[in-house]
Structure 1
Amino acid sequence: MKAYSLDLRERVAAACTQPGRTVSAVAAQFSVSVSFVAKLLRRQRQSGSLAALPHRSGPAPLLDPAGRAELAACLRQQPDATLDELRVWVAALGGPDVSLATMGRAVQALDWRRKKRASTPPSATPTG
């Protein structure tokens, strides 16, 4: 979800400074929620800014690029290894000890497919 524009934030804050205007009336006028207006005013009081906070990217992945390279090497050597086997293998190579879910996300990030392609093309003759 994108943040509201700075222009809208400034108009909402300016409307709130007019005498006799309630937070709910300003929220209805600009088609925003009452909690947005209240949080915007609190942010203006505390920091003096109306700008949105920068996007936080979340926690860093446990497998860094070196760990992903080790995982890719393991997958090339043994393509049918289970996630648990890959966990043990990467940990033995000095990588971090990660969960099955983390290992699954790392394998997906490498675009490694579990389902293999058929070795022969489909038959051109119709069945049935």
Structure 2
Amino acid sequence: MQPYSTSFREKVVQAYQVGNTSVRKVAARFDVSKAFVQKMLKQQEVAGHLTPGKPGGGMKGKLAGREVQLAEMVEQHPDATLVEYCEYWGETHQQWVSASTMCRALQKAELTRKKRLYAARKPRLNESKSYAASTGSK
């Protein structure tokens, strides 16, 4: 969403300063929130201008920029679990992270792989078939 223009912000502040009105009435008149009007009044008072600020950015993860080290770790220990990766990372890099942090970092670096279960699975019988086999009926 784009920030409101400077001219619109000036109109909102001017409407409050000129008339004997409340913040709520100004907000209703311009179809904005009460908090926006209060924020503009405070910005005008403190900063002396109403230009919109720079939009905020997202937070970077603890392991951002460490893709090469993560790839080396996964290459050295391809069958390790997330918890084992966390322990290894903490011991080698002195930076302890949670399993979810490690999982997100591995996903961003596209280093995920599905682990195979090597144990043979026993086929499950349908209850009606097993009952029929045990009673001798069809």
TM-score (norm 2): 0.67
How far is the alpha carbon of 1:55 from its aligned partner? 3.1
In structure 1, list runs of 5 or more residues that go unmatched. Answer: 117-128
Change (3 A) 1:92 1:13: same
Query: Which residue in 2 is equivalent to 1:54?
Result: 54
Shift of 1:104: 1.5
Q: Which residue of 1 aligns with 2:40?
A: 40
Measure the CA separation in 1 of the matches of 2:114 and 2:42: 52
Give the 5 Å matches for 1:1-128: 2-57=2-57, 59-65=59-65, 67-115=66-114
Provide closer, same or farther for how the CA distance between residues 2 and 112 of structure 1 changes in structure 2, counting only shifts above 3 A.
Answer: farther
Distance of 2:20 and 2:11 partners within structure 1:
16
Between the aligned partners of 1:92 and 1:64, the Cα distance in structure 2 is 18
Q: 5+ unaligned residues in a row in structure 2: which ranges? A: 116-138
Contact 1:70 1:90 survives alignment (8 Å):
no
How many percent of aligned residue pairs carry the same amino acid? 37
Deviation at 1:27, TM superposition (A): 0.9
Name the stretch that deviates more: 50-59 or 81-90. 50-59
Equivalent residue letter for 2:47: S
Count of residues paired in the alignment = 115
Runs of 4+ in 1 over 4 A off after TM superposition: none
Task: Tell me if structure 2 keeps the 8 A contact 1:86–1:103.
Answer: yes
Q: Does structure 2 conserve the Cα–Cα contact (< 8 Å) formed by 1:63 and 1:96? A: no
SS at match of 1:98: coil
* Greater mean deviation of Cα atoms: 41-50 or 75-84: 75-84
Aligned-residue offset at 1:11: 1.9
Inter-partner Cα distance in structure 1 for 2:62 and 2:37: 38
RMSD (Å), alpha carbons: 2.4
